[in-house]
Amino acid sequence: MLCNVRRKPRFGFLALPVLSLFLACAAKPAPESEETLMKSGLDALYLRHDPVAAVGQFRKVLEINPAHYGATYQLGIALDAAGKLDEARAVWEKMLPLAEAAQDNSTAETVRARLANAETLSEMQAGLDALYTRHDPNTAAARFRKVLERNPTHYGATYQLAAALDAAGKGDEARPLWEKVLEMANQYHDEGTARTARARLSPQR
């Protein structure tokens, strides 16, 4: 092959063209295969615990093959692990119809769970911002209620909803939630939260 030319040409007028050919070949390394990129990404994610590097490898696979099933799934996992939840959510939304079309029920269920978790995290963050940054307890309470609609035993949402209702002056609504928080805190041996709940339930307040 021309890119394997190694010997110095005998005639000077051939030197420049051959050198140019050599440099052109050296500047264009063979593209990595999907298989190689997938292996590199999986190694980064599961062996080196480097989700950011893994994201880069899986994105390269998807540049080659945008419908690559495994790369789409693993990119979602890697983005979640890297804390890039908004980006991960978009990938999971893309992954769900792929899994359903393949009748891969196990993966589809995993994707639905990831999407539900992303929605919960988004609602919790919005509620916390409303309560502690914007000092808007009514909006915060609405956010925490949405979390509890999906997961009635969500510990953090139960606590924060009770706190938001107290802050909104709705102590009667907050009380049964503090009772629930106290029960959950005792179950989890969370003495700090239990003390807070008891204080909120104290008739001296």
Position 134 scores a pLDDT of 97
**Would you say the C-alpha torsion 63, 122, 117, 83 has a positive or negative sign?**
positive
Q: How far apart, in Å, are the Cα atoms of 88 and each of 162, 170, 174, 202?
A: 30, 37, 34, 43
- Assign domain 119-205 one CATH number from 1.25.40.10, 1.10.10.10, 1.10.287.10, 1.10.645.10: 1.25.40.10
Q: State in Å, rounded, how far the first CA of the chain is from the last one.
A: 87
DSSP single-letter state for residue 4? G
In this structure, is the dihedral angle defined by the CA atoms of residues 149, 150, 153 and 156, taken in order, positive or negative? negative
Q: Other C-beta atoms within 10 Å of 43: how many?
A: 14
- Please state the φ and ψ torsions of residue 71, each to the nearest 5 degrees: -65, -35
The shares of helix, strand and coil residues in the chain, as percent rounded to the nearest 5, are 80, 0, 20
CATH homologous superfamily for 32-103? Tetratricopeptide repeat domain (1.25.40.10)
Average pLDDT, integer, range 41-60: 97
Domain boundaries, the chain: 32-103, 119-205
Residue 86 confidence class, pLDDT cut points 50, 70, 90: confident
Q: Each residue of 106-165: pLDDT tens digit?
A: 999 999 999 989 889 889 999 999 999 999 999 999 999 999 998 999 999 999 999 999
Q: Encoding tokens for residue 80?
A: 């979640």
pTM: 0.65
pLDDT tier for residue 9 given thresholds of 50, 70 and 90: very low
Phi, psi at 202, each rounded to 5°: -60, 135
Provide, rounded to the nearest whole percent, the portion of the chain with pLDDT above 70: 84
32-103 and 119-205, same CATH topology: yes
Average pLDDT score over residue span 87-115: 96
Are 73 and 107 in contact by the 8 Å Cβ rule? The answer is yes
> Is 199's pLDDT higher than 90?
yes
